[in-house]
Amino acid sequence: MDEQRTVKVSKYLSKHLRHQPERLGLAPDEAGWVEIDDLLAATAAHRFRITRAELDHVVATNDKQRFTIDGTRIRANQGHSIDVDLGLPPAEPPAYLYHGTVARFLDAIRAEGLRPMDRHDVHLSADRETATRVGARRGRPVVLPVDAGAMHRDGHVFRLSANGVWLTAAVPPRYLRFS
């Protein structure tokens, strides 16, 4: 399976497991799981046939470990816009987490903090390098440190996705460092 096809399959899976399962006639359960057989049959019916071997390859080699297979089922580890409860337990974050964004959003972020926008949660990274890559998807990256320790002490809930992304509902501006 070449790299181009691997990325294409990963994006196709992200789109349908996180955002638009109904486009494939899929109905994930409340925790976001779909039956792998149903998914593969749906992809074939929608002219983007993915084989089981390709699926396994993408899940195993994915650069961000975006998907989990559990028995006969698969789900995306984070990033959903559909209504799912991933069932992740609250977790204590490190003192600082990092958010990667771009300069054009900074005025709004200064005013209202980080909001989840189209997703369920704000996505935060444990290290600057990862946050830099996240921001770079949109242009020249700007990395904002988040005082996660203070947020946690103040009662904000954090969860850690299966692929190491820190999730929280929102980050008020006072916990952000704008240098």
Residues that bind ligand HQG (CB under 6 A): 14, 64, 66, 79, 101, 105, 108-109, 112, 114-115, 117-119, 123, 134, 138, 165
Judged by beta carbon, residue 16 or residue 66, the one nearer ligand HQG is: 66
- Distance CA(42)–CA(23), nearest Å, equals 9
Judged by beta carbon, residue 90 or residue 139, the one nearer ligand HQG is: 139
Minimum CB separation from ligand HQG for residue 13, in Å?
Answer: 11
Judged by beta carbon, residue 157 or residue 170, the one nearer ligand HQG is: 170
Nearest to 96 by CA among 64, 128, 141: 128
Minimum CB separation from ligand HQG for residue 94, in Å?
Answer: 17
Minimum CB separation from ligand HQG for residue 117, in Å?
Answer: 4
Minimum CB separation from ligand HQG for residue 45, in Å?
Answer: 25
* Residues 6+ positions from 17 with CB-CB distance below 8 Å: 28, 32, 34, 39, 67, 74, 75, 76, 80
Judged by beta carbon, residue 41 or residue 116, the one nearer ligand HQG is: 116
Minimum CB separation from ligand HQG for residue 133, in Å?
Answer: 7
Judged by beta carbon, residue 41 or residue 119, the one nearer ligand HQG is: 119
Minimum CB separation from ligand HQG for residue 95, in Å?
Answer: 20
Judged by beta carbon, residue 101 or residue 168, the one nearer ligand HQG is: 101
